Structure 1
Amino acid sequence: MRLFDFRTEYRENPLGLATKHPRFSWKIASDENDTVQTSYRILVTDQRGRETWNSGPVQSDQSILVPYEGDPLEEETIYRIQVFVSDNHGKEASIEGSFETGIFDAHHFVAKMICPDFPSPQEACPVFSHSFSLRQRVSRARLYITAHGVYEAAINGSAVSDCRMAPGWTNYRKRLQYQIYDVTNLLGDTNQIQVTVANGWYKGILGFYCQPNQYGDQLGLFAELHLQYENGDKEVIATDENWTVRTGQIRCSEIYMGETIDTDSPEILEGSISTKNFDSSVLTAQEDEPVRITERIVGIRKITTPRAESLIDFGQIVTGVVELHVKASRGQVIRLRHAEVLDKDGNFYPDTLRQAKSIDTFICNGQEQVLRPHFTFHGFRYICVEGLDHFEPDQFIACVTHTDLEKTGDFRCSAPKVNQLQQNISWSQRDNFLDIPTDCPQRDERLGWTGDAQVFSWTASFNRNTALFYSKWMRDVASESSLEKGVPHVVPDILQSYSASAWSDVAVILPWVVYQIYGDEGILKENWTCMHEWVDYISNHCNDRGLWQTGFQYGDWLALDKEESADRTGATDPYFIANAYFLYVTDLTIQTADILGHRDAGAKYRKLYQKTLLAFQDEYYSNTGRIVSETQTAAVLSLYFNLARSQDRDRVLRTLISNIERHKNHLSTGFVGTPYLCHALSENGAHDTAVSLFLKEDYPSWLYAVNMGATTIWERWNSIHPDGSFDESGMNSLNHYAYGSIGDWLYRKVAGLSQIEPGYKSFLVRPMLTKGLEETSLHFDSVYGPIVIENSCKLGKIRLHVEVPPNTHAQIHLPEKEEILKVGSGVYDYEYETKTDLSIPRYSSDSTLAELLAHPLAKELFEQMAPGMLDGPMIQFAYQMSVTDMLGSAPEARPLFETIIEALNRSDQENQS
């Protein structure tokens, strides 16, 4: 046995920890099956070697989030932790870690919030400076820093960190994060600290109307450098009136609009320092992982468009900025414009950005240069290069930028298009998890829409470790919510719009998801008030029958079962949705009350739930089980939230299947129905219907976008039409993760992993045989260790490989078997015969001509059977259309296409054999 991956509050050896009772977690590795921790002992010592906590032997299998229970921790002190573990096989192991405390009480800071004053208003970013000398040799130096705006800091010309867009976006009126950096190795005898501050989210242009000054009209810097000398003396260098300020090379910078950098001879203006009133009680230490550049993608090709534009294609829609390597003439101006996509003629198409200009401008100095924006980010795949006549793709590097969340989950299968979909889901999460969970990264929005976040939260928390990310954002949700106003639609809230079902329900759903995935009861305790007050808010706005039927609702946003000209809320009764979610979050609040020991609250909400459920059933179902709204979404919520009467569930399921059939086995759901659609089918004996719907490749479907070349998830099912034209509603992001919520169905139902106990202390392995996916593979790094499920059903055999981490146990439900196997940790392999055939023909009437022609045999067959056909204008226009769509205008060609499709599938089968 050995221990690994020791964490303190989810971090490895954290710096500047501001919690007085940090929690410790570790993982166990063992070569023996059925390994369970039987006891632990934790020893904590401070930097002087003094023991501050010795837990003594604790008979427990708890190995995650064990709270510190020793002497009060001191500020700015390094602590060493040792953990000793015994298991049920008599083995022992130990592991060490450390953490360093920061400032517990923000009132202990002595710095002032300093502001720049210039003779005239300036767009240029102010650069604050301060010079100082050291009294003697320093043993430790920590920089505490934040800003009203976003900042970058350097000491003696070296950046203090690789973090970007710090201090992040919070509800600045109540919460302002600060960062803590170890700068010991950057100091010399004489030193200069420089901090550049830009508008960012604090003062910059935000929202649909591109309004500035959302939180204030004056930039500010707040910083303290804490020095500890080798003789034990301490010194604090803090921002005050003695600092200086001037303008620099960054002439303007806006998140939406882009950045201009003049490296030639920018006009430098000297300013003066003033201070402004600042309540330090809003300060909070960095709460989640910082934003960083996590990947660098070199331009893959240069394009000259029909309009003679010069473009670089990076092959992937990303969020970030472009780094340019260039030697240009002194004073030469180079502009980089950004876009997600090209139009159907191959021209640069920035229209999805709306008012966000997203133009970065560089003024060169005549030398070899590496130029990169500092305080902006864009959503793009293509850049249009202006002002540079001769260049190569490798001069441009897309710097992928997002919150640096640890990757925890991976799903793969035997269907390449499904793998591409999974990759698209992953990219949209990366691109939109930039300090907050945004809806999109490219246009004049980029807001923390609560509905988008909650429907995607299960999928997100499989792909990446979101524990700290969501905990930080939930603190802003709570700070902007109240019993009187409810919960905002976006957080941080710049829209002043409150309380709509599915959106505001994030207050309950997100803490519950974090608890289930990470076993973190702390997030339930921290958000209990916000959770139950949201349920109370709804209850307070119900009518005499106990139903919520007033006020604005988004409904099933962007559903396809209602004309766009009417509105975007879909055909499902919006108050059906509101009350379905009311019941759902009330149920979660009941379970939370039970976990936290709030017995009276649990009883109160149980009574509320029963009353509301009866009223809901009376209002929205007939005596024979017919739903008032016979839409896919109404049926899905009825089944998934367990709202229909037990005797009516079969009829509701038939209603759902019938509706799907009327839509030619396609979905018609929006943001609300889509996350649960396939779940509801698979859980109610209609898995084959879920699979058929999921694997559709024409509009509307997940794989339609894949066939159209998508590298991220679209906001709309038809963001790009088959002919290459675009939705022109003015709301058409090509990077919106909401419909990526299908990932949770792939992980839970197809691959077969579900938690039984929070944190996957106990979990279910139940892969569902899925026609078209002969092989699936899932790897998930749980808080207890890696879980692996690999399943295949081909050549007459089912094979299942399962890895269960130590200190957990699993229930394995073998496909086509009734028995459920209960196992402890270890590696398990099963193989047995089956008559099930999961293979499906690769080509069908849903295939496009482009897909057919990708087969090496296709062109030969077309030339033999219909000479010259591929040269026709109809074929060129129909290149991206399905065979069925093409035959609508040429039905006489059906026998030809059917013969060719059959020949291609037969060829594939022979090759596989």
Structure 2
Amino acid sequence: MTATTAGPVRFEHRDDPLGLGTATPRLSWQVRTDEPEWTQTAYELDLDGVVVRVDSAEQVLVPWPFEPLASRARATVRVRVASGDDWSPWSEPSTVETGLLSPSDWSARFVSPVKLGGIGAPAPILSHTVTLRPDIVSARLYATAHGVYEARLNGERVGDEVLAPGWTSYRKRLRYQTHDVTSLLREGPNNIDVLLGNGWYRGRLAWAGKRAHYGDRLALLAQLEVTYADGSIEVFGTDEQWTAHNSGVLADDLYDGQHTDMRGTESTVDAVEVVDGDLGRLVAPEGPPVRATEVLPALKVWQSPSGRTLVDFGQNVVGWVRLHLRNTRSGQEVVVRHAEVLEHGELGVRPLRSAKATDTYVLDDAAEVVVEPNLTFHGFRYAEITGAEVAAEDLAAVVVGTDLRRTGWFTCSEPELEQFHRNVVWGMRGNFLDVPTDCPQRDERLGWTGDIQVFAPTAGFLFDTAGFLSTWLADLAAEQQDDGSVPFVVPDVLYGESPTATAWGDAATVVPWVLYRRNGDTGVLARQFDSMRAWVDKISSLTTDGVWAGGFQFGDWLDPTAPPENPFAAQADSDVVATAYLVRSAEIVAETARVLGRDAEHYEKLAADTRDAFVRHYVTEAGRVLSDAPTVYALALEWDLLPTAAQRAHAAEQLADLVRANGFRIGTGFVGTPLITDALTSAGRPDLAYRLLLERGCPSWLYPVTMGATTIWERWDSMLPDGSINPGEMTSFNHYALGAVADWMHRSIAGLAPAAPGYRRITVRPRPDAALTHASARHETPYGMASVAWLREGGEFTVDAEIPPGTAAEVHLPGREPVEVRHGRHHWTVPDPVTPRPAPVTVRDLLDHPELWPKAVALLAELGLGEDSARLAAEAAPFLHLPAAELASKLAMKDPSRDGAAAEAALAALLG
């Protein structure tokens, strides 16, 4: 017997498989072994004594081999694995329980107060009392709402979910939850109370301020099922026997906050009535719920210049403030306002636009009380407190978001780059709140398709997003229009305002493909395939002579050269971007068809024809791409849009020159930013990618870090160097999209990349640079932990890697041929490949050495060229191909009265 163990079994993408929504859940497990030659050749699965053997090396999302489960079924599964005749022990048992799989399983009906709970009225509580017999064995509460709900049984809170049932495309898909409430019940009377809030269903959505997008009545659907020792079951569902009364929550809104009266005044009891609610749209969760995931103490309390009490929690978070108050008096009002930044020493609330982001409490007499909201959330680092004297120990920030399992980490020797990576993580935590939102603070917080399209690879490394994004993709398909158009936001609350746009609608193809590549999930491809095809068919119908030109586009959104009031004004031509994306999405659909065993020919031809049209319309014979912007070269290089080696070489050279000429400041928006470092790396210039990443001037990735940012900003200059907020109407300090470069950091700096779906094969290829002495990344793949760590020290370059069982890795080390390794821990040492850069001999080389710029600027000033390094970079760009001496000579011709020979000699000496 080898020292090999397997399991436990995981069901679909659920960490807690209570209330699973499928009768045939796919199964996964990890293997641990210290046998270097071990290879799984078979597995056995045991379902409550029924054993099935499968001869296969698969261990991720394998098909359910048993009879389908019924609704409410509870089953225990174990696994053991074999390598030849050598079997592991059985794993620890894992238990799965299905939810209500059919509308017929529901006897409950949606109910709503007859008179109470209207728009603008206090949040209602729906109540019922059930009398139970002795010998309760188990109990489940199945619940959902039109609105958001918080349930209590006998005064105890049910579950720990926040803002349940979350936000889906309510008209077509409404999520319900399954709660184990066995421990909360007792023999005799049991009181059920469910608070209903507006949430996304009836609260404000989007900047227009519209309320009640899905309906004007809150409603509850709840079904309590109690099982007794004798096997009998009692079912209690919402019906006309329930009652309603007002809560102390006088107002609640996701944008504006919550107003709560703590004095416990009496409320009129109201009847409820059954309201329409299609039970066929009910779906079980595919991923984890929204929870309070962390509590951060306040770091500082002080008085602002205007005399207001301000609090700093040290981190831009999403959630709310918890206050611990003492010796309160009846009628005392405490107000908490929230903001992400300070401006002129006060809360910087202008970026919130119309969102009030304010919680108010009317207190009762109490020696001690803790107050916090439960029907709203805010994006903030700072808070302003009025109505009570508080100290730092009285305050905490409750961090709220989808409770995703962390799977990825990165470290390096540069503290500011590590801080940037932390900012990416926190930006994702704040914006992955049931849907992947753009920002969590202003009057928006929508599931913008373009943002997640560019960020999905980074997200899939940092956290387990499989269930989270698969359910969002189901909403995308549900919201997709009949002609294949994809809304700008999902769920779609911009009806009539969403024409087709590249890079945004391409989330329909890119996101499922990323999930497949990162998780090995062919199921999400099968489910989304019709949606993927419909999108590509739609945009291909918009082409003229093979290219997608004209019409509305976001383009390379938020290019740093765009003025604050016009984020569309990018350097990259939007037609070039749109046509490039059509090639990419058509290729993805073709590859998806091959994975699924379907005919890929039509989409292969569409991709090839569109690539030809792209070159015909937008690329010169020499390889210059229309608009000559960094983004168009990054697209052309990374998506293989240039047919000849000469064109590719010229495009790579031009991209490098543009990066240098811009002084290594960033020159891309949403579309180009995820690709530019990869394009430079593929072009053989990872050193320039490093320089771009590590630049600290504005605009750059590290500029916000130098300004104290703790999340990724929406704009490169959301805060200006003088500490004032960008004057644009649209400014957020928590917006994950521009953090998409973290995926390159994981794959290229640390050198840990997937080479096959689900990391079944791994590429280990660290790319060291003089800027760093060490870097590492580790990722919990579906097969187990994979990691790469490297160190430059004493002239040696050491690499350590961990490869999980069930996978293999191809290892690329500097100066060595690639080698393949199996699972286990590996160590290599080679000579340090990083050598001092050679002395510059051309102006292009000079631009790689900004430490020489001051001298070069001074010398070139004698020739009338440049007043600072930025002008040097820009004005010297046309001459980058010239040797230094020839450049100096040509520039001297501009002004024959100057001593050109002396300047030429001085510049030539400087440049070697």
TM-score, normalised with respect to structure 2: 0.89
Q: Which residue of 1 aligns with 2:884?
A: none
Secondary structure in structure 2 of the residue aligned to 1:465: coil
Cα distance in structure 2, aligned partners of 1:311 and 1:179: 38
Secondary structure in structure 1 of the residue aligned to 2:470: helix
User: Structure 1: which amino acid aligns with 2:107?
Assistant: V
Cα distance in structure 2, aligned partners of 1:185 and 1:738: 43
Q: Which residue of 2 aligns with 1:536?
A: 537
- Asked whether the equivalents of residues 206 and 214 of structure 1 are also in contact (C-alpha less than 8 Å), the reply is yes
From 30, 34, 37, give the equivalent of 1:34.
37
From 86, 90, 93, give the equivalent of 1:90.
86
The Cα offsets for residues 874-909 of structure 1, whole Å up to 9 and x where unpaired, read as xxxxxxxxx989xxxxxxxxxxxxxxxxxxxxxxxx
The Cα offsets for residues 61-98 of structure 1, whole Å up to 9 and x where unpaired, read as 11111111222322212111121211258352321211
Q: Which residue of 2 aligns with 1:508?
A: 509
- Correspondence 1:697-708 to 2 at 5 A: 697-708=696-707
Q: Which residue of 2 aligns with 1:239?
A: 238
From 3, 7, 10, give the equivalent of 2:13.
10
**Counterparts in 2 of 1:658 and 1:79: CA distance versus 1, 3 Å:** same
- Correspondence 1:798-809 to 2 at 5 A: 798-809=797-808
Q: Which residue of 2 aligns with 1:146?
A: 144
User: Structure 1: which amino acid aligns with 2:517?
Assistant: Q
Deviation of the 1:135 alpha carbon: 2.9
User: Structure 2: which amino acid aligns with 1:532?
Assistant: R
Deviation of the 1:670 alpha carbon: 0.3
User: Structure 1: which amino acid aligns with 2:104?
Assistant: H
**Counterparts in 2 of 1:176 and 1:829: CA distance versus 1, 3 Å:** same
- Asked whether the equivalents of residues 117 and 217 of structure 2 are also in contact (C-alpha less than 8 Å), the reply is no
Deviation of the 1:209 alpha carbon: 1.2
**Counterparts in 2 of 1:154 and 1:697: CA distance versus 1, 3 Å:** same
Q: Which residue of 2 aligns with 1:860?
A: none
- Asked whether the equivalents of residues 8 and 94 of structure 2 are also in contact (C-alpha less than 8 Å), the reply is no
**Counterparts in 2 of 1:682 and 1:88: CA distance versus 1, 3 Å:** farther
**Counterparts in 2 of 1:521 and 1:641: CA distance versus 1, 3 Å:** same
Cα distance in structure 1, aligned partners of 2:203 and 2:479: 20
Q: Which residue of 2 aligns with 1:458?
A: 457
Whether 1:356 and 2:355 are equivalent positions in the alignment is yes
Cα distance in structure 2, aligned partners of 1:493 and 1:176: 14
Secondary structure in structure 2 of the residue aligned to 1:93: coil
- Asked whether the equivalents of residues 107 and 281 of structure 1 are also in contact (C-alpha less than 8 Å), the reply is no
Q: Which deviates further from its counterpart, 589-598 or 284-293?
A: 284-293
Q: Which residue of 2 aligns with 1:818?
A: 816
From 64, 67, 72, give the equivalent of 2:68.
72
Deviation of the 1:260 alpha carbon: 0.9
Deviation of the 1:770 alpha carbon: 2.0
Q: Which residue of 2 aligns with 1:134?
A: 132
Secondary structure in structure 1 of the residue aligned to 2:29: strand
Deviation of the 1:777 alpha carbon: 1.2
Q: Which residue of 1 aligns with 2:115?
A: 118
Q: Which residue of 1 aligns with 2:28?
A: 25
- Asked whether the equivalents of residues 321 and 398 of structure 1 are also in contact (C-alpha less than 8 Å), the reply is yes
The Cα offsets for residues 705-743 of structure 1, whole Å up to 9 and x where unpaired, read as 100000000001111111111111111100000110010
Secondary structure in structure 2 of the residue aligned to 1:260: strand
- Asked whether the equivalents of residues 485 and 499 of structure 1 are also in contact (C-alpha less than 8 Å), the reply is no
**Counterparts in 2 of 1:734 and 1:89: CA distance versus 1, 3 Å:** farther
Cα distance in structure 2, aligned partners of 1:784 and 1:505: 29
Secondary structure in structure 1 of the residue aligned to 2:9: strand
- Asked whether the equivalents of residues 86 and 93 of structure 1 are also in contact (C-alpha less than 8 Å), the reply is no
Cα distance in structure 2, aligned partners of 1:27 and 1:826: 14
Deviation of the 1:650 alpha carbon: 0.8
Q: Which residue of 2 aligns with 1:905?
A: none
- Correspondence 1:239-278 to 2 at 5 A: 239-266=238-265, 268-278=267-277
User: Structure 1: which amino acid aligns with 2:74?
Assistant: I
Cα distance in structure 1, aligned partners of 2:467 and 2:353: 32
Deviation of the 1:779 alpha carbon: 1.1
Deviation of the 1:798 alpha carbon: 0.6
Cα distance in structure 1, aligned partners of 2:283 and 2:302: 47
Cα distance in structure 2, aligned partners of 1:298 and 1:845: 42
Q: Which residue of 2 aligns with 1:158?
A: 156
- Correspondence 1:317-466 to 2 at 5 A: 317-327=316-326, 328-343=328-343, 345-367=344-366, 368-388=368-388, 390-466=389-465
Q: Which deviates further from its counterpart, 626-635 or 28-37?
A: 28-37
- Asked whether the equivalents of residues 559 and 571 of structure 1 are also in contact (C-alpha less than 8 Å), the reply is yes
Whether 1:592 and 2:589 are equivalent positions in the alignment is no
TM-score, normalised with respect to structure 1: 0.89
Cα distance in structure 1, aligned partners of 2:695 and 2:623: 30
Cα distance in structure 2, aligned partners of 1:838 and 1:568: 41
Q: Which residue of 1 aligns with 2:830?
A: 832
Q: Which residue of 2 aligns with 1:871?
A: none
Deviation of the 1:612 alpha carbon: 1.3
Deviation of the 1:565 alpha carbon: 5.3
Q: Which deviates further from its counterpart, 223-232 or 825-834?
A: 825-834
Cα distance in structure 2, aligned partners of 1:635 and 1:654: 10
Deviation of the 1:33 alpha carbon: 1.6
Deviation of the 1:38 alpha carbon: 1.5
- Correspondence 1:892-903 to 2 at 5 A: none
The Cα offsets for residues 262-308 of structure 1, whole Å up to 9 and x where unpaired, read as 11244523222122111110111122200001100011111211111
Cα distance in structure 1, aligned partners of 2:826 and 2:28: 26
Cα distance in structure 2, aligned partners of 1:526 and 1:318: 34
The Cα offsets for residues 329-348 of structure 1, whole Å up to 9 and x where unpaired, read as 222100000010111x3222
Deviation of the 1:100 alpha carbon: 1.0
Deviation of the 1:835 alpha carbon: 6.0
Q: Which residue of 2 aligns with 1:559?
A: 559
Q: Which residue of 2 aligns with 1:107?
A: 104
The Cα offsets for residues 451-473 of structure 1, whole Å up to 9 and x where unpaired, read as 00110000011000000000010
Deviation of the 1:561 alpha carbon: 3.7
- Asked whether the equivalents of residues 772 and 839 of structure 1 are also in contact (C-alpha less than 8 Å), the reply is no
The Cα offsets for residues 102-142 of structure 1, whole Å up to 9 and x where unpaired, read as 21112321111101122694520000000010133221110
Cα distance in structure 2, aligned partners of 1:59 and 1:557: 50
Cα distance in structure 2, aligned partners of 1:102 and 1:724: 52
User: Structure 2: which amino acid aligns with 1:108?
Assistant: D
Cα distance in structure 2, aligned partners of 1:180 and 1:565: 47
- Asked whether the equivalents of residues 14 and 467 of structure 2 are also in contact (C-alpha less than 8 Å), the reply is no
User: Structure 2: which amino acid aligns with 1:621?
Assistant: V
Q: Which residue of 2 aligns with 1:63?
A: 59
Secondary structure in structure 1 of the residue aligned to 2:176: strand
Q: Which deviates further from its counterpart, 694-703 or 110-119?
A: 110-119
User: Structure 2: which amino acid aligns with 1:236?
Assistant: V
The Cα offsets for residues 539-589 of structure 1, whole Å up to 9 and x where unpaired, read as 12222x122223211000010244455552402111111110000011011
Deviation of the 1:838 alpha carbon: 8.0
- Correspondence 1:302-317 to 2 at 5 A: 302-317=301-316
User: Structure 1: which amino acid aligns with 2:542?
Assistant: H
User: Structure 1: which amino acid aligns with 2:596?
Assistant: L
Q: Which residue of 2 aligns with 1:758?
A: 757
Cα distance in structure 1, aligned partners of 2:330 and 2:69: 57
**Counterparts in 2 of 1:60 and 1:770: CA distance versus 1, 3 Å:** same
Q: Which residue of 2 aligns with 1:54?
A: 51
From 173, 176, 197, give the equivalent of 2:174.
176
Cα distance in structure 2, aligned partners of 1:312 and 1:768: 42
Deviation of the 1:477 alpha carbon: 0.3
- Asked whether the equivalents of residues 35 and 88 of structure 1 are also in contact (C-alpha less than 8 Å), the reply is no
- Correspondence 1:790-801 to 2 at 5 A: 790-801=789-800
- Correspondence 1:361-760 to 2 at 5 A: 361-367=360-366, 368-388=368-388, 390-496=389-495, 497-543=498-544, 545-564=545-564, 568-599=568-599, 602-646=600-644, 647-760=646-759
Cα distance in structure 1, aligned partners of 2:580 and 2:15: 41
The Cα offsets for residues 418-438 of structure 1, whole Å up to 9 and x where unpaired, read as 000000000000000000000
